[in-house]
Structure 1
Amino acid sequence: MLKIICKQLLNRWGSNVWISMELLLVFCLVWYMTDYFFVLQYNRSIPLCRDVSHTWLVDVAQIPELSPAYRPAESDSATLPANFDRVLDRIRNCEGVEELAVMNRGDLPGAGSYYGWMLKSSPDSVSPSAGGQRICFDPRTDYFHVFRITTPDGKPVSVSDFDFSDPKAIVLSRSAQNSLFPGEHTAIDKGLYNGMDTEQSFVVKGVVGDVKRFDYQRPQKNFYVAERAGYSNIDRKSIVIRSSSSVSDARFRQLFSEKMKKELRIGNFYFKRIRSLESLEKETEALFGVTNNYRVRVALMLFFLLNIMLCVVGTFWYRIRQRREEIGLRMALGSTHASVRRLLYVEGLCLLAVVVVPAMLIEGQFVYLGMIDTLGKSSQDSQVYLPDRLLLRFILTNVITFVLLVAAILVAIWLPADKASRMAPAEALHDE
């Protein structure tokens, strides 16, 4: 049957050229989209070593100095930190709050801000170095517990697991340790230096798992350091809490807001609002264009698949009208409804198979010229991920593209093929 179909395709090469050209174009475009989604979903599948579900950013503001309600005596160097501690105690004791963390405003997970650091394993210029994000938190609060930070092997950790009583204490992510101390089993108790100011030194107190700044990116290098909230830096601090999973997010938010509006009116502090960190991350992704990028590519993918389906439906509908006598003769000679449908299915798949090799040659030029981005890839990456293996990634994305187009073509051919299989032989042979 395959040999006969190939001969028929060659005999109708004039009409087949146009549909083959469209299949070629659509195959390349769908592959380009598939490659993006493949890398995106691969990145999302990488373990996070943290969890932002049921976490909230509590905005606590201070009354402006020009306001009539402002009280100068409540904002001096002694009273302001004391009032801030009272704010933390009331939030910590609120029903439904599991844990609280105070951290720098720019270090929130999933936020748009980023404070980068370059650290070195020794003060000389040729020592191993690593660039990553500095995350600064108050050691009296439990940042690691709030975000469910784990060790590289998945064990939960807490701030109390590390000796932050040392003012030089620092905790590294696993990839930062591997970059700064390559080939060494552990970095604990080893010294580190600021790459921009070697007078600033640190002592490694622990190593935790790699986390991702955004879910669609790869894990990054992180450096965790402690800084107590005080008079000079309270305005730069954010309060983050984790709520109990036994209470729905909507219910917790309502109850917390109602209670804290009254209880957090301490000194010049007042409760402003509470926001989910999951929603904050989505807002940042939208701001960075990731959400729009995703939606546009999904729309284009659906458009191309619908386009090829309509093209195939129209082409095969027309072919069946032109080949009524051939189909009637086949059925008169004993062909079944299933065999007629199978004939048309194989014919459509043969047209797709013809364009696969030319399409891959065209795609290969895009890869060779470096026109295919690897979402989330950083020049600092020390670990090789699947999307970095271009040949394997190229083969996998083409296989996925082929399967998608096979499904689209089979769905498109089903209606005309079903109509052809139900054609009465006498009716089909009437024109002949």
Structure 2
Amino acid sequence: MNRKLISQTLNEWRANLWLAVELLIVSVIVWYAIDFCYVKILDYSSPLGFEIDHTYKIKVDEISENSPEYVDRDSEGYIADKLELIDRIRHRPDVECASWSNFAHPYNYNVSCHQYHVDTIKTQGNVRRKADPDFFKVFRIRGINGETSDELAAMFRERGVVISSNLFDDAIDARTLIGDSIYSHSDRAIAVGAVISPMKMSEYSLRIYGCKTVIESDKIERMNDLCVRIHANMDNDFIGKFMADADRHYRVGNLYIGSVTSFDSLRDFFNSESEREVILMVTAVVFLLVNIFLGLFGTFWFRTQQRVSEIAIRKVNGATYSDIFRRFIGEGIVILSIVTPIALGMDAALVSHELNEMYEDNFFSWGRFLICAAITYLLLAVMIVLGIMVPALRAMRLQPAIALHDE
């Protein structure tokens, strides 16, 4: 892009002013749309932090007190029944491991939020999960330092809570807290046994939600979610076989098996609404981009069509096709390059005023900002090139005498 072209473009500022304003507005809108899609892609593609292959959720119900089959149970008896039930399930040949938990498993609408702190540094947007040690084995959760799920289960049992590596963002390296304590809102000291990678609630969970995790143990009578992992070669009609044995083998005290659901099914149901919303939003963004493309395409098409005589004169003076292309396309790129810094300032203003909700909780980064800006610039450049190239190519095919005669 030479100085002569830039100088000529600036000298024709009156003719280019409205085009520059249009490109400025379009650049801000396209950046916002690109940023939205970029965030959705990042959210969906970021690691889940768990595995749900060969896993099932067993719904455990209790007999009503009005039922003639109801058995009086005190607290100790209720605990014994729950331990007996999970022990029987663990001894099934097709079951690899089983776990009691509460508000802990993925694809779960029930969330328990809690605040923790170290000195004056507090967590925000975290999720507290209650589970027993085998929870890590059921969902194949691994430690940030490479610990296996079995090792995590042992560390959880012996040392205390397990936290996610992003619990305090960049303020504290969570690995330095292993063997130390974090504190609840009531200043209760809780020993940290291990650190895991961020654990999302689902594929569509924002990083700011459901990923900052503290997994604590709890009394078994307060944990009502029973999840199991079966051996990889045992998936064939596991639900049917399990339910066939439910009344005979898994009726303990007042506890009985209500249903069994695979986590694949839970995932599909949990994500269905999010998928519809994403499809709707992406469709709207694509529709917006198509309309912007057609608008810019039409603007540059009309602009180039009005300069047929200029193209003819350039051909008479010996200009080649490539010379004319470089002149016209270069002019459009110069205008785009001039307005882009202004558009970026407006984009930064959107960020600073938090008009994009996905920037909450320090999710924004300048790297992401510049990546979206670069994509926006390239996309608009492609629109400009196509909007100029097609009509310019048609105009250059005319004989100069015919073009000038029409003028």
Alpha-carbon distance in structure 1 between the residues aligned to 2:116 and 2:18 = 59
State the AA in 1 paired with 2:306: Q
Which whole-Å CA distance do the structure 1 matches of 2:224 and 2:168 have between them? 27
- Could you tell me whether the CA contact under 8 Å between 1:313 and 1:415 is conserved in 2? no
Unaligned 5+ segments in structure 2 are none
Contact 2:90 2:97 in 1 (8 A): no
What corresponds to 1:20 in structure 2? Answer: 20
Aligned pair 1:208/2:192, yes or no? no
Matched length: 395
Secondary structure of the corresponding residue to residue 350 of structure 1: helix
1:96-175 superposed matches below 5 A? 97-104=95-102, 106-119=103-116, 132-139=126-133, 142-158=134-150, 159-162=152-155, 164=157, 169-175=160-166
Preserved CA contact (<8 Å) 1:20 1:351: yes
- d(CA) in 2 for partners of 1:282, 1:335: 63
Change in Cα spacing, 1:334 to 1:135, as seen in structure 2 (3 Å) is same
Task: Give the residue type in structure 2 aligned to 1:93.
Answer: R
**Matched residue SS, 2:237:** helix
* Distance in structure 1 (CA, Å) of the matches to 2:371 and 2:268: 30
Backbone CA RMSD of aligned residues: 4.2
- Given that residues 305 and 392 in structure 2 are in contact (C-alpha distance below 8 angstroms), is that contact kept between their aligned partners in structure 1? no
Q: For residues 409 and 298 of structure 1, do their structure 2 counterparts lie closer, same or farther at Cα, with a shift above 3 Å needed?
A: farther
Report the AA paired with residue 404 of structure 1.
L
Gaps of 5+ in 1: 379-384
Q: Is the 8 A contact 2:104 2:129 kept in 1?
A: yes
Q: Does 1:258 align with 2:240?
A: yes
**What amino acid maps onto 1:222 in structure 2?**
T
Deviation at 1:21, TM superposition (A): 2.7
Question: Paired residue for 2:327?
Answer: 343
1:60 aligned partner: 59
Deviations 1:351-405 (A, max 9, x none): 3223223323333433443434444627xxxxxx7x24x5x55444322321222
Q: 3-state DSSP class of the match of 1:65?
A: coil
Quick check: 1:327 aligned with 2:325? no
| Partner secondary structure for residue 103 of structure 1 | strand
Question: How far did 1:157 drift?
Answer: 3.0
In structure 1, what residue type is equivalent to 2:112?
Y
**SS of aligned partner of 1:162:** helix
Question: 1:345–1:424: structure 2 CA closer, same or farther, 3 Å change rule?
Answer: same
Identity level (%):
22
AA in 2 matched with 1:211? M
Which residue in the other structure is 2:270 paired with?
Answer: 283
Question: Is the 8 Å Cα contact of residues 121 and 168 (structure 2) preserved in structure 1?
Answer: no
* Within-5 A mapping of 1:281-320: 283=270, 286=273, 294-295=278-279, 297-320=281-304
Deviations 1:170-213 (A, max 9, x none): 3344455999988994532x456543274xx5444444344344
Residue in 1 that maps onto 2:385: 410
SS at match of 2:243: helix
Alpha-carbon distance between aligned partners in 1 of 2:346 and 2:176, rounded to the nearest angstrom: 46
Closer/same/farther in 2, CA of residues 5 and 206 from structure 1, 3 Å limit: closer
Letter in 1 for 2:217: A
Listed one character per residue, the Cα deviations across residues 291-345 of structure 1 (whole Å, up to 9, x for unaligned) are: 5664455334323332232123323333343333332343344444444344332
Alpha carbons of 1:358 and 1:84: their partners in 2 closer, same or farther (altered >3 Å)? Answer: same
2:28 aligned with 1:36, yes or no?
no
Q: How far apart are the structure 2 equivalents of 1:9 and 1:56?
A: 65
**SS of structure 2 residue aligned to 1:224:** strand
- 5 Å-filtered alignment, 1:179-194, equals 185=176, 187-188=178-179, 190=180, 194=184
Tell me, yes or no, if the aligned pair for 1:174 and 1:208 is still in contact at 8 Å.
yes
1:264 counterpart letter in structure 2: A
Asked if structure 2 preserves the Cα contact closer than 8 Å seen for 1:192 and 1:202, the reply is yes
Q: Secondary structure at the match of 1:107?
A: coil
Deviations for 1:233-276, whole angstroms, at most 9, x for unmatched residues?
A: 4xx511223456678xxxx4x71222223122333523424142
Contact 1:98 1:241 (8 Å CA) reproduced: yes
CA contact (8 A) 1:328 1:425 kept: yes
Report the AA paired with residue 30 of structure 2: V
Tell me if structure 2 keeps the 8 A contact 1:134–1:223.
yes
What corresponds to 2:342 in structure 1?
358
Where 2:106 maps in the other structure, the secondary structure is coil
Is contact 2:142-2:196 (8 Å) kept? Answer: yes
Quick one: structure 1 residues 149 and 421, their matched pair in 2 at CA, closer, same or farther if it must change by over 3 Å? farther
Following superposition, the deviation at residue 217 of structure 1 comes to 0.6
Distance 1:78 1:64, change over 3 A: closer
Separation (CA, whole Å) in 1 of partners of 2:29 and 2:270: 29
Query: What is the CA-CA distance between 1:28 and the residue it aligns to?
Result: 1.0
Residue 196 of structure 1: aligned partner:
186
